[in-house]
């Protein structure tokens, strides 16, 4: 019985992590993540995997298995569940974080919490979660006992010897599977290019504490809302300095509430106050823990930096600590926020000028150590841009792993009869865009927006007598966002369009007129400038 693993996102990019495992015609989905748009994706709010292939086989989907609670692994879950509602397996905190997002869409998911090292059976699938250390608590890898042998997905992980919660990566269980034999390992690639080990999360706390203690006025600390270990260290730092604090930002408020209720955040009595009460205290006695470490346009820190936050106004005595480094693609946004903060006169510390961030992903030596423990027969790098996947593959080959394959979104790995083979572009790896509350699957729409932004638009208006079909006015030309000599271009368009429509048969056909206006205007633009703006013919019947 063959085992098929299809990759719908996360291979060749940071985000959209989503894979499916198929046994005996039944499907289990591993993570359903989203990606935040880059600046070229104009008007796009979120980017999702294309799981249309799964939805076409909705009756075959047995369950969804989540590795951890980051948006790039759970953020698209609601969009899947509004089409097909199936059991969702994950650790307690992971499901709580996922439920908070899904419930906003009016969906009641079938959540089934699991404990690591506990085997679960669902249809033809038998799997267990394995504890790993990452930048969100309760993160796991997942091992599948399949007809073709053990298949392990690491999830996102690192080998932190002294994590904040004491929950280390369960190397004992991974080693046990290694002794039994691991047929295929799907391994986190994000830091495969980085030599050595990633420092422990526990090293960050003392650095934040020193910066808070030195701050003359209010302190604002920005980090991922899901990075509860970082949130905890920030709380510990401000409390140790005798400050009270408030949370700001929707996801920070939501996640901190979940974490307190589930015991993942320890907040001393009277340390946490409402923002309105905090603003009445002397600034040097206060701190704010905020969202916006990635420069998201409407996150709290971005609004503060732009002077647009409805409650908090920056002061030159403020100290801002951005406890993160930019995700690839977010560098410009983060830089813009830092510039705006600096322009406002505040002191800014971030991951590139202070030791206030460590990664949650294993570096090269950690990966080598892990591969030595698991000793898989085959490895496919996952989670990362193509260069990360390639670097991870090189590490695996250097460690002597017999079969190493670099795949991309849309590819399928097939285990059959003891052999591994790859089917390229066997499923869709396309982007699905979220615009407002609607899904947009046509990439051409996004390309059109980019084209409009880059080259501008030309409108050519012609009036037609709807009874006779004769031209009664125009062509009138207007342009927006087009560089160069507009008067010269408008004149050339009018001349060319007038010549073009003069040869049309009467009565003039509406569609034929639109085509002639568009083609004539395009040719005129090409002769007068190097740009290729959008040309919109407007035919008005009078």
Mean pLDDT of the region 428-437 = 82
Report the pLDDT averaged over residues 232-250. 97
Tally Cβ neighbours within 10 Å of residue 372. Answer: 12
Tell me the fold of 202-349: Rossmann fold (3.40.50)
Cα of 411 vs its chain's centroid, Å:
20
Q: DSSP for 324-335? A: S-PPTT-HHHHH
**Kind and range of the H or E run holding 445:** helix 443-455
Residue recorded with tokens 């570096």: 363
> Looking at per-residue confidence, does 512 or 337 come out higher?
337
Residue 464, pLDDT above cutoff 90 = no
Domain with CATH 3.10.20.580 in the chain: 456-541
Q: Tell me: the pLDDT tens digits for 26-68?
A: 999 999 999 887 766 656 778 999 988 999 999 999 999 999 9
Query: Residues 243-270: what's their mean pLDDT?
Result: 95
Q: Residues 370, 176: contact at Cβ < 8 Å?
A: no
Angle between helical axes of 171-180 and 364-374 (0-180°, round to 10): 50
Encode pLDDT of 123-180 as tens digits: 999 999 999 999 999 999 999 999 999 999 999 999 999 999 999 999 999 999 999 9
CATH code 3.40.50.10710 region(s) in the chain? 202-349
What pLDDT digit, counting tens, does each position of 312-349 carry?
Answer: 999 999 999 999 988 877 888 899 999 999 999 999 99
Three-state DSSP class for 124? coil
DSSP string, 338-378: HHHHHHTT-EEE-TTTSS----SS-BHHHHHHHHHHH--SE
> In the chain, where does the domain assigned CATH 3.60.15.10 lie?
3-196+359-443
The answer to whether 132 and 155 have CB atoms below 8 angstroms apart is: yes
456-541 folds as Ubiquitin-like (UB roll) (3.10.20)
- Model confidence, pTM: 0.82
pLDDT category of residue 453 using cuts at 50, 70 and 90 = low
Contacts 24+ apart (CB under 8 A), 24-27: 24/124, 25/60, 26/60, 26/61, 26/62, 26/123, 26/124, 26/125, 27/54, 27/57, 27/60, 27/61, 27/62
Is domain 3-196+359-443 in CATH 3.90.1150.10, yes or no? no
Sign (positive or negative) of CA dihedral 85, 87, 89, 95:
positive
Which contiguous run of DSSP H or E holds residue 18? strand 18-23
């Amino acid at each position: 019985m063959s085992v098929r693993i299809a990759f719908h996102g996360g291979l060749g990019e940071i985000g959209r992590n989503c894979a499916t495992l198929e046994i005996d015609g039944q499907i289990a989905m591993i993570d359903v993540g989203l990606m935040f748009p880059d600046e070229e994706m104009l008007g796009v709010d979120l980017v999702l995997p294309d799981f249309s292939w799964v939805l076409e086989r909705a009756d075959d989907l047995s369950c969804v298995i989540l590795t951890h609670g980051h948006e790039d692994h759970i953020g698209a879950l609601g969009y899947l569940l509004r089409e097909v509602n199936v059991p969702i397996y994950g650790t307690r905190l992971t499901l709580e974080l996922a439920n908070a997002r899904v419930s906003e869409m009016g969906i009641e998911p079938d959540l089934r919490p699991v404990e690591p090292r506990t085997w679960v059976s669902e249809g033809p699938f038998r799997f267990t979660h394995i504890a790993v250390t990452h930048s969100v608590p309760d993160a796991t890898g997942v091992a599948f006992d399949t007809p073709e042998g053990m298949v392990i997905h690491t999830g996102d992980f690192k080998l932190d010897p002294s994590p904040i919660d004491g929950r280390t990566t369960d190397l004992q269980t991974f080693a046990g599977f290694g002794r039994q034999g691991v047929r295929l390992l799907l391994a986190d690639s994000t830091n495969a290019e980085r030599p050595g080990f990633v420092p422990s999360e526990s090293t960050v706390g003392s650095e934040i504490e020193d910066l808070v203690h030195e701050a003359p006025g209010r302190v604002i600390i920005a980090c991922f809302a899901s990075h509860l270990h970082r949130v905890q260290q920030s709380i510990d730092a401000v409390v140790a300095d005798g400050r009270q604090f408030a949370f700001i930002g929707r996801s920070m408020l939501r996640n901190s509430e979940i974490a307190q209720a589930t015991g993942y955040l320890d907040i001393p009595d009277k340390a946490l106050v409402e923002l309105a009460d905090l603003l009445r205290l002397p600034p040097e006695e206060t701190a704010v823990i905020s969202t916006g470490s990635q420069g998201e346009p409407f996150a709290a820190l971005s609004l503060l930096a732009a002077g647009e936050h409805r409650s908090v106004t920056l002061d030159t005595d403020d100290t801002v600590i951005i406890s993160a480094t930019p995700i690839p693609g977010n560098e410009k946004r983060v830089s813009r926020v830092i510039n705006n903060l600096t322009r406002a006169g505040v002191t800014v510390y971030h991951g590139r000028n202070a030791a206030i961030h460590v990664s949650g992903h294993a570096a090269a030596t950690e990966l080598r150590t892990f591969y030595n423990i698991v000793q898989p027969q085959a490895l496919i790098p996952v989670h990362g841009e193509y260069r990360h996947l390639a670097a991870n593959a090189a590490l695996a080959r250097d460690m002597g792993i017999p079969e190493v394959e670099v795949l991309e979104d849309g590819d399928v790995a097939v285990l059959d009869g003891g052999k591994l083979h790859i089917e390229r572009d066997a499923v869709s790896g396309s982007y699905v865009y979220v615009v407002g509350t609607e899904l947009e699957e046509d990439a051409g729409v996004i390309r059109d927006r980019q084209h409009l932004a880059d080259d501008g638009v030309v409108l050519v208006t012609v009036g037609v007598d709807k009874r006779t079909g004769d031209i009664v006015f125009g062509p009138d030309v207007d342009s927006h966002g087009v560089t160069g000599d507009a008067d010269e271009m408008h004149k050339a368009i009018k001349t060319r369009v007038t010549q073009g429509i003069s040869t049309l048969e009467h009565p003039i056909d509406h569609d034929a007129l639109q085509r002639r206006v568009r083609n004539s205007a395009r040719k005129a633009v090409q002769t007068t400038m190097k740009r290729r703006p959008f040309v919109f013919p407007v035919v008005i019947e009078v």
